[in-house]
Amino acid sequence: MQLQLQELKLFATADLCGTSTVFDKQSRELNVCNWNSVYSKIFKFNRWESVKCFINGLGRLDFMHLLALHKLKYCCKLNNCSNVTMFHAFQCYKLSREYLTLLTKYSCGPNDIMFNINFNVIGDFRLQLNV
């Protein structure tokens, strides 16, 4: 329960920061500092211990991958949105560097289903653990 509350708190912070290129650096810092601190406090890790393998063992993702997953899921829903205004706004966003970078990084297509998006983002996180 504590973990879910902390996730909500971090996503609220992320919403306040926006999604600009400056946010990439900030989200990396949130991932390393805050996310590790959350797990360290809840599960009594030392500060110098990496929690990525532990996060994976719990079947969860780190902050960067969670953020990417939520963005891609939201885009997937907007791509199938019946609201004409939202659909057209998304059609403009589809041309943005941020969106295209997300698709490329996680090997997703613009019309992928949620299962493929989940699979690719989780796969990328696990690949980082093996490197």
Contacting residues for 38 by C-beta, under 8 A, at least 6 apart = 3, 6, 10
Please provide the average confidence, as pLDDT, over all residues in the chain: 80
Q: How much is the pLDDT for 16?
A: 47
Mean pLDDT of 56-63: 85
Q: How much is the pLDDT for 27?
A: 64
Overall domain count for the chain: 1
Domain containing residue 34 = 2-130
What gap in Å lies between CA 35 and CA 64, rounded to an integer? 10
On the question of pLDDT at 18 being above 90, the answer is no
Mean pLDDT of 29-52: 75
What's the token pair of residue 78?
Answer: 């907007």
On the question of pLDDT at 67 being above 60, the answer is yes
Q: How does residue 106 score in pLDDT terms, banded at 50, 70 and 90?
A: very high
Q: How does residue 127 score in pLDDT terms, banded at 50, 70 and 90?
A: very high
Question: Does the CA dihedral 112-116-122-126 come out positive or negative?
Answer: negative
What gap in Å lies between CA 94 and CA 88, rounded to an integer? 10
Mean pLDDT of 100-122: 92
Check if the beta carbon of residue 58 is closer than 8 Å to that of residue 114.
no
Mean pLDDT of 10-34: 58
Mean pLDDT of 12-28: 56
What gap in Å lies between CA 124 and CA 108, rounded to an integer? 11
